[in-house]
Amino acid sequence: MYFHVAPLMLAPGSVIEAGNWGRMLSLYHPWFGQPAIALRERIFEEVRVASFPEKPSRLQCCYVLPDRDTALEYWRGQPQSLIYRVEPVLESAPTHFGCWSFGYINGEVSTPKFMDELPTLALDYWASSRIINPEILLTSAIRIIDRIPLTREMVRAAHRWN
8: CATH: 3.20.170
> For the chain, what is the total number of helices (H) and then of strands (E)?
5, 7
pLDDT band at 159 (very low <50, low <70, confident <90, very high): low
Least confident of 29-33, 35-39, 107-111, 151-155: 107-111
d(CA 110, CA 115): 8
Residues sharing a CB contact under 8 Å with residue 30, sequence separation 6 or more, in sequence order: none
Q: What is the pLDDT of residue 45?
A: 96
Q: What is the pLDDT of residue 65?
A: 97
Residue range(s) defining the domain that contains residue 111: 2-161
Q: What is the pLDDT of residue 112?
A: 45
Does residue 106 come out as left (phi exceeding 0), alpha (psi in the -120 to 50 range) or beta?
Answer: left
Q: How far, in Å, are 8, 42, 133, 134, 143 from residue 82 at the CA level? A: 7, 26, 18, 18, 15
Query: How many domains is the chain built from?
Result: 1
